[in-house]
Structure formats: C-alpha cells, structure tokens
Amino acid sequence: MRVGILTGGGDAPGLNGVVESATKCLVQAGVEVVGIVDGFEGVYNKDTIALTIDKVDGIHQNAGTILGTSNKRGIGEDADEFVACFKELKLDGLIAAGGDGTFKALSDVSSRINIIGIPKTIDNDLSGTDITFGHYTACGLISRSISTLKHSADAHKRIMVLETMGRTAGWLALNGGLAGYADAILIPELDFDFQALVDSCKEKLAQGSRGLVLCVSEGVKFEGKKIIKQIVEDAPETERLGGISSVLAIALEKELGIEARNVILGHLQRSEPPEVFDKLLTLQLGASAAELVIKNKWNKALAYKNCTVMPVELNSFTGAPRLVDPKLELIKQARNLGIFI
C-alpha cells in the first residue's frame, strides 16, 4: 500500500508530530509513505517527498511542518483535476491534517478517493472535537506574554492591550488570557460595553494597580465594526482580521488619560514548539490514523472527545465554527476573580 500525508491550512504546533507518528506506524506495518508538499498544491503539482523513519525521527519537537502548507488553493471546481493528479501519484489513500477549509475542500472528493482527516487549528473552533492540537501551545505563549507585558505596564503605569488570533472564536483570548490572569479579556462572543471597560480599568488603578494588561481577540468588534487587516483573494476564508488592539489602546488612552500601547502576537502564536499536551495528542492522532489505514477503514476523521481520540465521520468538522458559550463556568469564574469579561 502507498499512502500520502498532507498538511493544509494555517500551520499549528504539532503538525510535525502527526507526520512523525503516522509515518513511523505505517512504515513499520510495511506501508510506503510519501509526504505531499505545500498542502493541496502538492497534489496538483505532483510534488512529493519520500517519508522514512529516518526522515521523520525527532521532528515532533518542532513547530511548522516539514511538508509545507498553504491556506490558498482549495478543490471545488478543480475536483476532476485533483482526482486525476492524485491517481497519477499512485496513492491508495490520503491522510490530511487541516482546519475547516481543508475539510470543506476534502468533501469535494471524498466519494472518489480514500481519505483520513485529522482536525487542526490553534483557534480551537472546530465543531465535532473537544480540542484541536496547537491550541494549548498558543495559549501558553499568550499567557506568558501577559505576564511579561505586566512588567512594562507596571514600569510605565500604562495599559498594555495584547491581541490574539482566533477569527470569530474567542478561545485563544479566553484560555490564554485566563492562564495569564489578564485584567480584562474581550472575546467576539460577548459584546462588551466600552464605558464598563473604562470603569473597570479605573477601579483597578484606584485599587493600586500601577499598570494593566488586557487581552483582546482579533474578532472583537469596536462600535459594531470588526477590524479587517487584509483580504486574501482565492483563499477559502478571504478576510484576515487584525488591529482591534490598536483601536482599543487609542480609545482607552483618550478616556483614561494614561498611556496605552498595543501588541499584536500574530503568527508567533503558531510558531512555538508544541507543548506536552499537543505532543501527546498528535502522537495519538497520527497513530490512530495509521491504524485506520492499516485496517482499510477509509473516509473517517479523528476527533478528541472525553479525553479519547476516536474515529468519526469525515464531514464532522465542516459545520459552523464552535464558539465560546457565554454561559461557560469559566467565564463566571473569571468574573469572580475580578477579571473584566
């Protein structure tokens, strides 16, 4: 049997772990494994590399993906071309790790080729799975950044506004912001009242805080408007968000009469080496994908539910994004701690 592995969409810490784990299991079971370069592009361009145990040994420790990835070209109207190229590669099946864009694209060809899908995104916004790998590593960086910025905030008696990724979902700002004990956390799922935020900052400063660190998700709207940084033509998701932290810092400085600065964490959130949870999760995802291949059980995806990796339907992740439930216990607890949210 000859199987291809592909990583698609934005990179996430742990992609290399999936490649190492799946390759090691498959090669030891006698399966030939090839890596497809740069996501779907590698199928159209028939660009592959041989994956051997030697080639993948130890890559799980590194961020990025040795295969390259892309969040541009999908499949859609190119389904016939995609299937023809796939056949030319003489592959019996495909293991694809990706986000909602990758899964939507795969659904265009899932009746014509053998696929195993592995969900991935630092945003943690895929319905059908409890947690996606990369998320907790990104939250680790966010929480460390909040603690680090507190030093400069205190030194200068400033407000520092830290901006996270996450698109329409607030998981990164919520989990990273809580782990860092931010003074305020703003997420797209909860409309916020600017005057209430100002009052909360005033109160914290009056109580003796020298500086404050606020954590805001890129999808948060200000005065009803989301802040779009860029439009990427031809991408499954064309809008790139970014800039809310700058808008907020300017507005807060004006209202509070103390200096405010913003920091956009950006792609640093995707570039950290995976932390232990993500290493363990990707080991299990890669090994479970290999097991399905060896048992010839195709057109499945893998979900992580109740602390267990399990096979689910391939189309399990193409629904609406999984957003933060405003009634979450964690939000109540944050408020009890005095965090503005």
Binding site for ligand F6P (CB under 6 A): 10, 71, 99, 121-123, 165-167, 218, 232, 240-241, 270
Q: How many residues does the chain have?
A: 341
Q: How far is 280 from 60, CA to CA, in rounded Å?
A: 10
Phi/psi zone of residue 152: left (φ > 0), alpha (ψ -120 to 50 degrees), beta? alpha
Asked if 300 and 146 touch (Cβ cutoff 8 Å), the reply is no
Q: Which of the following is catalytic: 11, 78, 100, 123?
A: 123
Given the complex with ligand F6P, which of 230 and 296 has the nearer CB atom?
230
Strands 260-264 and 159-164 come out as parallel
Considering the complex, state which of residue 158 and residue 167 has its C-beta at the smaller distance from ligand F6P.
167
- By C-beta, is 226 or 240 nearer to ligand F6P? 240
Q: Which two tokens stand for residue 218?
A: 């890129």
Note if 234 is an active site residue.
no
- Residue 87, Cβ neighbours under 10 Å: how many? 11
The least distance separating ligand F6P from the CB of residue 230, rounded to whole angstroms, comes to 8
User: Least separation, in Å, of the C-beta of 169 and ligand F6P?
Assistant: 8
CB nearer to ligand F6P: give 170 or 180.
170
Cβ proximity of 211 and 184 under 8 Å: no
Tell me the residue number closest to ligand F6P, measured at CB: 165
* Shortest spacing between CB 235 and ligand F6P, in angstroms: 7
User: In angstroms, what is the minimal distance from the CB of 121 to ligand F6P?
Assistant: 5
Whichever of 113 and 165 has its CB closer to ligand F6P, that residue is 165
Q: Least distance (Å) from ligand F6P to the CB of residue 154? A: 29
User: Closest approach of Cβ 115 to ligand F6P, in Å?
Assistant: 21
Which of 209/271 has CB closer to ligand F6P? Answer: 271
**Tokens at 126, concatenated:** 């895929």
Catalytic residues: 123
